[in-house]
Amino acid sequence: MISYRTRMGRQVRFQCILFAWCLPQVSHVPDFEDSDDLESLIPDAVRCYLENPPPLTIGTLMFEPTITLQQIHEYWMMHAIDQAQRAFEQDEVPVGAVVVHEDRVIGEGYNQRESLNDPTAHAEMIAITQAAEELKSWRLLNCTLYVTLEPCPMCAGAIVQSRIPRLVYGTMDPKGGACNSLYQITDDARLNHRVNVTADVHQLECQTLLKEFFAIQRAKGKK
Ligand SMILES: [Zn+2]
């Protein structure tokens, strides 16, 4: 068993042998006698594994990371929840978002509609703008947007416009969601970009934060 700490800070453990299927896809073929070389293969191998789930073994070598795509989504969703928490503390509807590019957060934001008096200051819009500045491009290729609440029509439109390939959200918004609930803007064949959407990641945590917020607001007699 090999342990490896990814750039996300997560400790990953591997079975000690690698599948031959990944060998043509990695940057170099290591000398398997040499454990240092084997370790250097692992980041590429993880990416290959996640992007191309392994077919039947075609060789004698076996690779099996103990990390799953779902665990990666949960890890980054916790960052989005941290952002939502910041909104909560500032008396804003608690929605948070992060844009991740190659295991790195390049944009983050939380709802600031009230404090900025800006109807467009949704968490996703702020995170997307920051990410585009970081990449120096309006095309957010190879990025994943994590957001605690299903995006509204405006944000779903921004996701399509920025060509983000993958969206992961926490909880559905039956009254305003535009990626599943009311509209399916991110999966509309009439538009020139479609998004791979994953729902219900840390759903309970995201939903509870919103419920708590609105319960407090009702108690205050505000909303
Ligand atoms: Zn929005």
pTM, full prediction = 0.72
8 Å CB contact between 99 and 131: yes
Q: Output the CA 140–ligand 1 centroid distance in Å.
A: 18
Is residue 77 within 8 Å of residue 148, measured between CB atoms? yes
How much of the chain, in percent, has pLDDT values that exceed 70? Answer: 70
pLDDT of residue 79: 98
The average confidence (pLDDT) of the chain is 82
Contact partners, residue 103, CB within 8 Å, separation at least 6: 6, 7, 8
Q: Which fold has domain 77-220?
A: Cytidine Deaminase; domain 2 (3.40.140)
Residue 22 annotated as lining a ligand binding site = no
Least confident of 52-61, 82-91, 126-135, 189-198: 52-61
Return the closest-CA partner of residue 201 out of 65, 72, 86.
Answer: 72
Ligand 1 centroid distance, CA of 104 (Å): 23
CA of 113 to the centre of ligand 1 (A): 10
Give the residues across from 97 on adjacent strands. Answer: 109, 147
User: 122 among the known binding-site residues?
Assistant: yes
Q: Enumerate the active-site residues.
A: 124
Report whether pLDDT(68) > 70.
yes
Question: Encoding tokens for residue 202?
Answer: 């840390």
